[in-house]
Structure 1
Amino acid sequence: MFKSNHLIYLLEDDSDDAYLIRNALKNDKIMSHSIMTFDSLEKLVKALSNFKPDLIIMDLNVTDSDGFNTMLTVKHSAQSVPIVVVTGMADEAMGDRLIQLGAQDYVPKSELTSSLLQRVIRFSKERHHLLQILENSANRDALTMLYSRKALDSKLDELVKHAERYGEKFAVLFIDLDNFKPINDQFGHDAGDQLLQHVANRLTLFSRSTDFVARFGGDEFVTLLPHVKTRDDAEQASKQQLNAICDDFYVTDSDGQAQQVHLSASIGYALYGEDGECGVELIKAADAAMYQNKQNR
C-alpha cells in the first residue's frame, strides 16, 4: 500500500518524550512521517524560516520558552502550517485556549497513544486544509483558482515588510501570453478560458511550495519568489516557468471540436532592493522587463 510521506517538526526538549512521540508514529499504516526534532524554540523558528513542514508537534514548555508564549511564537513563524500541541499539562481550559490561538488540536502526554496521535494528526491536517480553502476562496481568481489581484497586493506588502525587517530579497516574475488574443478570437472565449486554466495548472505545477502564483488580470500572471537572492536565481526561475507554459495545448472550440494550439509567452523579473522598494515599483519593473524581452524576440 502506498503511504504518503509527511515532514513533521517536533519541538520537544525531553529526549524520552521525543522518543515516545517518534515511536508512536512509526507504525502508522496510512502515513509515513519524517520527523525533525528541535530541543529549543530558537532552533525551531530558525528551521521554519528556511523550510516549512507539513505539520508541527510541539510542547509548550521548552528550555527557552514556556506556556502560551511558545504557542504564539510558533504560530507566527509557522504561518500556514497546522500545529498539534502535546504537553504535560492536562487542562481542558488550556486546550480550548490553545485552539483559539491557532492550534489544530491538543493532546495531554498522559493520554498519548499511537492510535490517538495518528488520528489527531490526520484530522488536524484535514481540518486545516478545509479551513484554508474557506479562507482562500475570497482570495482566489474564480476561473484559474490562482491567487487574485487583491491577494497578490496583500502578499507583496507582506514580503516587502519581511524583507525590510530581515534584510532579505525576493523576486517578482511578470508573465504575459503573447498569442492569447488570436487564439481567443479564433476558437471562442470558452477556449480562451480553458487555455488560461491550462497555464494556471502549469505555473502551479512548476512552482515551489513557497512561491505565490497569481492572475494579475486578463492573460497576465505574476509569481512571487521568496528567498530568491540573486539575478541568476530569478533568471533560472523565469526560464523554468516560461518553458512550462510555452507548449502545445488542447482546447475545445465553439463548435465542440478539439483544437491544438501552441502558446508562447514573455516574462520579466524584478528583484527587491535592486529594482524597487515597494510592491508597485517591483510590479512596474517586472512588467517593463517583460515588455523589453517581448520586443527583443
Structure 2
Amino acid sequence: MTESPLNILLIEDNPSDARLIRELLTDGTTTAFMIWTADRLAHGLEQIADQSFDLVLLDLFLPDSTGLDTLRQFQATASDVPVIVLTGLNDEGSAIQAVRDGAQDYLVKGEMNGPQIVRAIRYAWERHRMVLEMRDQSLVDELTGLHNRRGFAVLAREVVKRAARSGTGFVVTFVDLDGMKHINDHFGHEVGDRALIRTAGVLRSVFRASDVIARFGGDEFIAMTDGVDRAAVEVLRRRLTSAVEDHNLKSAGEPALALSLGFAHHDPAKETLKSIVDLIAEADEAMYVDKANRRPKQAQR
C-alpha cells in the first residue's frame, strides 16, 4: 500500500501480548502503521476523544471491562471507529458474538501471525470505509448538500448522547422557507430549487461546522446545536435573521428569502430528556407561531 500510515489504537492490558502485536505489525510488512496503546478501556476511549484513529484492536477482557460489555461500551462512545476484537484461545464464542454485534472481525491471541493480522486490519478498514461512503450517500440531500431527514435522525442521536455525557444543553432549530409555492408558481421550479440551495447556504453561514444541519423535507430545514445554554436561542434567532437580511441585499435578481423560525432547548442537567421527536414537535410548533406573527408584517409590504 502507498497510502498514508493507518493509525491503530491497541487496547490491551497484557504487556507481552501488546509487544507481540506491535512486532507483528511492524516486522516485514509493506503496510505502514502508527500504533498507540492503552491498557484500560477508559484510557483508550480518552485517546479516541483526543485524536483520530483508523481502527482499534480491542481486547475483550480488560481490568475495567470484560466480555461483550467491553465492545458495547466502546461502541456507545466510538461507534464510527472500526474495531477488531482480540480474544483468548478458549473464548471464540464471545468473539463470534462480537462480530454479530458490530465488530469488523476477531483475532485469537496465540494463533495469529503477521500476514493474518495485517490482512484483517486492511480488510476491516476497507469494509468500514465502504460502509461509511454508502451511508453518507444515503444521508445527504442531493439538492442542497445538507443532511436529509434520515441523516438528521442518525446524527441527532449522537448529539443527544454527547449532551448526556457532558451535561450541557442543546437547541433544535426548525426553519421554514416562506412563500415556496409562490416562488415556484411565479418564477418556476428552477428558481425554487435555487431558493432552497440559497437557504442552505444561509444556514451554513450561521451554524457551526460541528452542528447538524438538514433539509427535513420540502421547504423545511432543521438543525441541532449542542454545548449551549438557553440564551443561545435568541443568539441563533438574531444571527439567522441578520444572515437572511444580508443575503437578500446581495442577491439582486432572485426572490427574497423569508424564514420562519422555531426553537426548542433541552438542558440535561435540569430536566428529564425529551425524545428527539418531542423536541422537533416543540420547535415546529414554535415555528408556526413565528410564521403567524410575521404574516401581518409581510402583508403590509
TM-score, length-scaled by structure 2: 0.62
1:26–1:32 CA contact under 8 A, matched in 2: no
Instruction: Please report the RMSD computed on the Cα atoms of aligned residues, expressed in angstroms.
Output: 5.4
Residue type at the aligned position of 2:212? F
Cα distance in structure 2, aligned partners of 1:153 and 1:117: 35
Residue 84 of structure 1 aligns with which residue? Answer: 84
Distance 1:155 1:97, change over 3 A: same
User: Relative to structure 1, is the Cα distance of residues 199 and 67 closer, same or farther in structure 2, using a 3 angstrom cutoff?
Assistant: same
1:254 match: none
1:223 correspondence with 2:223:
yes
Q: Contact 1:25 / 1:118 at 8 angstroms: preserved in 2?
A: no
Which amino acid in structure 1 is aligned with residue 14 of structure 2?
Answer: D
TM-aligned CA distance change 1:171 to 1:191, over 3 Å: same
Gap runs ≥5 in structure 2: none
Which structure is larger by alpha-carbon Rg, 1 or 2?
2
1:239-276 CA-to-partner distances (Å, cap 9, x unmatched) read 59x969x769xxxxxxxxxx986985756654313899
Any idea what the Cα deviations from partners look like across 1:43-85, whole Å, max 9, x if unmatched? 3445667887543321112112222221222223323332122
Percent sequence identity is 32
Alpha-carbon distance between aligned partners in 1 of 2:292 and 2:31, rounded to the nearest angstrom: 49
Q: C-alpha deviations, 1:130-174, integer Å up to 9, x for none? A: 445666777665655644446646765775587568744222233
> In the alignment, which residue of structure 1 is the partner of 2:13?
13
Tell me the SS of whatever aligns to 1:171: strand
Distance 2:265 2:132 in 1: 29
Q: What are the within-5 Å matches in structure 2 for residues 139-158 of structure 1?
A: 141=141, 143-144=143-144, 146-149=146-149, 152=152
The residue type equivalent to 1:217 in the other structure is G
**Do the aligned partners of 2:86 and 2:95 also contact (CA within 8 Å) in 1?**
no
Stretches of structure 1 lacking an aligned partner (at least 5 in a row): 249-258
**Which amino acid in structure 2 is aligned with residue 79 of structure 1?**
S
Q: Give the structure 1 partner of residue 124 of structure 2.
A: 124
Aligned to 1:272: 266
What TM-score does the superposition give when structure 1 sets the normalisation length? Answer: 0.62
Structure 2: distance between partners of 1:105 and 1:170: 36
| Structure 1 residue aligned with 2:38 | 38
Structure 2 residue matching 1:99: 3-state secondary structure: helix
**Correspondence for 1:102:** 102
Residue 175 of structure 1, CA deviation: 4.0
Give the AA of the match of 2:38. F
Counterpart residue number, 1:75:
75
Give the direction of change, closer, same or farther, for the CA distance of 1:160–1:185 in structure 2 (3 Å limit): same
Change beyond 3 A, Cα 1:165–1:77: closer
Instruction: Name the structure with the higher strand share.
Output: 1
Shift of the 138–181 alpha-carbon distance from structure 1 to 2, 3 Å rule, reads: same
C-alpha spacing 1:37/1:147, structure 2 compared with 1 (3 Å): same
Structure 2 CA distance for partners of 1:198 and 1:98, relative to 1, 3 Å: farther
CA 1:15–1:285 in structure 2 vs 1: closer, same or farther (change >3 Å)? farther
Residues of 1 paired with 2:31 and 2:126: CA distance? 14
Q: Does 1:281 align with 2:282?
A: yes
Q: How many pairs were matched up?
A: 283
